[in-house]
């Protein structure tokens, strides 16, 4: 059996960096699925990419499909043949549909009887023939966020396709797509010459041929090259490149042959807040910022050139010129903004709409203050702390209407700009930090607020958004959540968990709705919000790797305190592998199963406790009940679980020695009342019926 490598390269005008990896993933997935379906073996698929090419190499592809014999059953013999032995219309129809002559029909014996059958011999196809059809499909099945048309073509793509390489070993696979025929010619780096063609004799020579024309096709190799150049840029000096993995992932898809070059800007711009400078450098220009070993930002930056390394000095001057206007703009905005106190911008929030039905950002700020004051009161903060929180909320959105953010160049710095302006104007440090933190967490892996001011402001902001948006009927779905309500609700439960605040979520939702009442629809979806936060608490517990059944065992309890419900779940988890706990779970499930949904009401009649095991069960229940009340009041859930485990043997002995469903109706009812009391006592802490026991 023969095996050869296959090379497919799609040559395009420069692709946006974010398009490249998803497109390659789709190509690889397509071929893995199709080649498996076609029963063509291969050892693996390698990926290559630059801004001007998407390429894969299928390693050791089976060149020829194996021949197949396919057995096809037809109608039963009694139906396929007439009494005289000739074929019936059903038999003839089967032969015709199978594409065989009558003399090729067989009789197949099966457990269900005899059927006519045919064996169709299917000759395997050559991989070249198969790939001629697959390659255009694989290229066209890639969908990009934005697509374009060029020339007279009806078909669209991310960027204009300029060439296609399709090779099976040394042979060209004939392909036609985008009015282009396939070949073996690719193109090298444009810094050598604008049109730089080169032949690829076979797949194994692909990388080296491109390297000869200053193209590193392996993305991981390019990334490693950039990383090494950045690390070695300053040698043993006291400067270093500020690590930025996200930027590195972008830059690697912007170049074909990377060269790290050091450049600089005027030191006068270092008077700007650091993130304004680094945002200009990194976000807008895709340059790497530099700091000294003490973490102080320097007026040096590193860019990754795709040009001829011999002309790095010329390229440096060009990049230094590009960055000056941006820094000049930032300096102008900064100086103009800081001529007025941050508080003076608050009134301008009345000119910015938060949401059509929910009003302006100024109205939102006022609602946040009301909810923030309620939170401070519930948590019994001091008057001084409460005033700091309210000051934080008052100023939290002010930077959104400054020139720095209003001109849309530095929108990602919201909160940071507010913090810097607040500090410049002498605001309390907690207030300033809280302004910055109130947007946190911005995503699942972002840090949480560290100050009380930031935490309360963040909760008030996010709760107003969740209740307001859902309250006006804009319910989030899995695919449609334009106001990022899931992220906001997740942030609320994360912050409450982080600060271990015993803040009643239901009560806070009610308060937010009361503040919003004049803005909401008559059908305000409050129950949806309750359920939504129930899901978010569930999600929070999952983040702590608590098993789903343990989570289920506590989620029936009111989650007025996230810290409390989390502690219950963690304490139950600590008992999980204990044999006595497993026996308790099994015993409790017997209690719950016997009672079902019809819990017996009333009091236990001690005179009807005839058996020693039920007498002991009742006596120990009374002791346990006192312990539960005591431990519950002190939130000592681990001790409570220990007490339950100690009670487990009495349940087991009861079921071993006592017939619950006695023929005596009074005895039976009394025993049901006793078991119902046990169930009610346990359910206050957790629902052990939800715990999965191995072997159930």
Half-sphere exposure of 175 (CA within 13 A, CB side): 30
Taking CA atoms, 358 is separated from 151, 364, 382, 467, 518, in Å, by: 47, 8, 31, 11, 9
Band of the pLDDT at 623, cuts 50, 70, 90?
very high
pLDDT of 352: 95
CB-based burial of residue 449 (10 Å sphere; 0-12 exposed, 13-18 middle, 19+ buried)?
A: buried
pLDDT in tens, 220-269: 999 999 999 999 999 888 999 999 999 999 999 999 999 999 999 999 99
- Beta bridge partners of residue 171, listed in sequence order: 168
Q: Is the pLDDT at 102 greater than 90, yes or no?
A: no
Per cent of the chain over pLDDT 90 is: 72
- State the Cα–Cα distance between residues 616 and 624, nearest whole angstrom: 12
pLDDT of 695: 60
pLDDT of 559: 67
- State the Cα–Cα distance between residues 554 and 540, nearest whole angstrom: 13
pLDDT in tens, 360-403: 999 999 999 999 999 999 999 999 999 999 999 999 999 999 99
What region, left, alpha or beta, does residue 235 occupy, with left being phi > 0 and alpha being psi -120 to 50 degrees? left
pTM of the model: 0.79
Cβ neighbours of 640 (radius 10 Å): 24
Q: Are the C-beta atoms of residues 506 and 453 closer than 8 Å to each other? A: no
CATH tag for 566-690 (out of 1.10.8.50, 1.10.730.10, 3.90.1150.10, 3.30.450.20): 1.10.730.10
Band of the pLDDT at 696, cuts 50, 70, 90?
low
pLDDT in tens, 155-188: 999 999 999 999 999 999 999 999 999 999 999 9
CATH number of 348-543: 1.10.3210
Domain boundaries, the chain: 3-65+126-212, 68-122, 219-308, 348-543, 566-690
pLDDT of 417: 96
Among 57-71, 406-420, 432-446, the range of highest mean pLDDT? 432-446
Q: How many Å separate Cα 687 from the centre of its chain?
A: 31
pLDDT of 72: 82
Verify cis geometry, omega within 30 degrees of 0, for the bond prior to 396. no
Radius of gyration (Cα) for the chain, nearest Å?
Answer: 36
489-492, long-range: CB within 8 Å, 24+ apart, which pairs? 489/462, 489/532, 489/533, 489/536, 490/441, 490/444, 490/536, 490/539, 490/540, 491/440, 491/441, 491/448, 491/458, 491/462, 492/458, 492/459, 492/462, 492/463, 492/466, 492/533, 492/536
- The DSSP result for 117-128, as a single string, is EEEEEEPPPBHH
Per cent of the chain over pLDDT 70 is: 99
653 φ/ψ angles, rounded to the nearest 5 degrees: -65, -35
Which of these ranges, 39-43, 424-428, 539-543, 587-591, has the smallest mean pLDDT?
587-591
Q: Is the pLDDT at 69 greater than 70, yes or no?
A: yes
Q: Is the pLDDT at 114 greater than 90, yes or no?
A: no
CATH number of 3-65+126-212: 3.30.70
pLDDT of 646: 93
Q: Is the pLDDT at 649 greater than 80, yes or no?
A: yes
Q: Is the pLDDT at 43 greater than 90, yes or no?
A: yes
Q: Is the pLDDT at 492 greater than 80, yes or no?
A: yes
Helices (H), 472-598: 485-499, 505-516, 526-543, 548-554, 562-575, 579-595
Band of the pLDDT at 65, cuts 50, 70, 90?
confident
pLDDT of 598: 67
pLDDT in tens, 552-600: 999 888 767 888 889 889 999 998 888 889 988 998 888 888 887 767 7
Contacts of 412 (CB under 8 A, 6+ apart): 279, 283
Band of the pLDDT at 618, cuts 50, 70, 90?
very high
Average pLDDT, the chain: 92
555-562, long-range: CB within 8 Å, 24+ apart, which pairs? 556/683, 556/687, 557/686, 558/506, 559/505, 559/533, 559/534, 560/502, 560/503, 560/504, 560/505, 560/506, 560/507, 561/502, 561/503, 561/504, 562/493, 562/496, 562/497, 562/505, 562/537
Average pLDDT of the segment spanning 423-441: 96
Average pLDDT of the segment spanning 542-557: 90
Average pLDDT of the segment spanning 469-475: 93
Largest Cα span, the chain: 109
């Amino acid at each position: 059996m023969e095996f050869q490598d296959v090379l497919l390269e799609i040559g395009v005008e420069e692709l946006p960096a974010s398009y490249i990896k998803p497109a390659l993933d789709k190509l690889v997935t397509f071929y893995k699925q199709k080649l498996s379906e076609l029963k063509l073996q291969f050892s693996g698929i390698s990926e290559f990419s630059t801004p001007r090419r998407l390429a894969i190499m299928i390693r050791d592809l089976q060149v020829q499909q194996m021949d197949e014999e396919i057995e096809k059953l037809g109608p039963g013999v009694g139906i396929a043949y007439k009494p005289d032995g000739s074929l019936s219309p059903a038999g003839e129809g089967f032969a015709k549909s199978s594409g065989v002559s009558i003399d090729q029909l067989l009789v197949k014996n099966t457990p269900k009887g005899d059927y006519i059958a045919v064996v169709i011999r299917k000759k395997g196809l050559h991989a070249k023939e198969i790939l001629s059809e697959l390659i255009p499909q694989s290229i066209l099945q890639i969908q990009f966020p934005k697509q374009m048309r060029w020339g007279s073509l009806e078909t669209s793509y991310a960027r204009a396709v300029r060439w296609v390489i399709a090779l099976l070993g040394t042979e060209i696979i004939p392909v036609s797509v985008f009015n282009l025929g396939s070949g073996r010619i690719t193109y090298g780096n444009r810094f050598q010459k604008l049109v730089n063609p080169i032949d690829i004799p076979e797949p194994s020579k692909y990388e080296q041929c491109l390297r000869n024309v200053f193209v590193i096709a392996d993305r991981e190799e390019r990334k490693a090259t950039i990383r090494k150049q950045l690390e070695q840029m300053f040698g043993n000096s006291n400067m270093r490149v500020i690590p930025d993995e996200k930027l590195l992932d972008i830059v690697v898809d912007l170049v074909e042959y990377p060269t790290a070059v050091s450049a600089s800007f005027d030191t006068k711009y270092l008077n700007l807040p650091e993130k304004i400078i680094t945002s200009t450098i990194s976000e807008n220009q895709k340059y790497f910022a530099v700091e000294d070993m003490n973490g102080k930002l320097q007026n040096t930056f590193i860019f990754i050139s795709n040009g001829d390394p011999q002309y790095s000095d010329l390229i440096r001057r060009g990049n230094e010129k590009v960055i000056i206007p941006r820094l000049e703009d930032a300096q102008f905005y900064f100086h103009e903004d800081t001529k007025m106190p941050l508080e003076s911008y608050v009134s301008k929030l009345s000119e910015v709409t938060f949401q059509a039905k929910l009003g302006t950002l100024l109205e939102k700020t006022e609602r946040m203050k009301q909810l923030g004051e309620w939170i401070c009161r519930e948590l019994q903060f001091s008057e001084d702390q409460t005033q700091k929180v309210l000051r934080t909320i008052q100023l939290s959105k002010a930077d959104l209407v400054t020139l720095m953010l209003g001109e849309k160049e530095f929108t990602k710095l919201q909160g940071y700009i507010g913090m810097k302006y607040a500090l410049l104007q002498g605001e309390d440090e907690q207030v300033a930090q809280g302004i910055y933190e109130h947007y946190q967490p911005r995503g699942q892996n972002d840090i949480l607020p560290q100050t009380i001011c930031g935490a309360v402001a963040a909760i008030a902001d996010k709760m107003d958004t969740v209740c307001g948006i859902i309250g006006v009927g804009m319910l989030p779905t899995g695919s449609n959540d334009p106001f990022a309500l899931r992220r906001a609700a997740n942030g609320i439960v994360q912050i409450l968990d982080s600060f271990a605040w015993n803040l009643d979520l239901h009560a806070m939702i009610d308060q937010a709705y009361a503040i919003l009442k004049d803005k909401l629809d008559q059908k305000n979806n409050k129950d949806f919000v309750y359920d939504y936060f129930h899901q978010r608490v569930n999600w929070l517990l999952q983040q702590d790797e608590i098993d789903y059944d343990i989570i289920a065992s506590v989620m029936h309890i009111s989650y007025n305190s996230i810290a409390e419900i989390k502690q219950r779940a963690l304490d139950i988890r600590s008992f999980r592998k204990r044999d006595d706990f497993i026996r308790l779970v099994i015993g409790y499930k017997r209690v719950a199963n016997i009672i079902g949904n019809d819990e017996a009401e009333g009091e236990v009649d001690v005179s009807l406790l005839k058996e020693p095991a039920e007498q002991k069960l009742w006596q120990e229940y009374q002791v346990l009940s006192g312990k539960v009340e005591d431990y519950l009041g002190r939130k000592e859930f681990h001790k409570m679980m220990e007490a339950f485990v100690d009670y487990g043997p009495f349940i087991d002995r009861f079921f071993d020695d006592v017939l619950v469903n006695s023929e005596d109706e009074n005895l039976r009812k009394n025993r049901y009342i006793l078991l119902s009391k046990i169930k009610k006592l346990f359910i206050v802490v957790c629902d052990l019926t939800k715990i999965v026991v191995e072997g159930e």
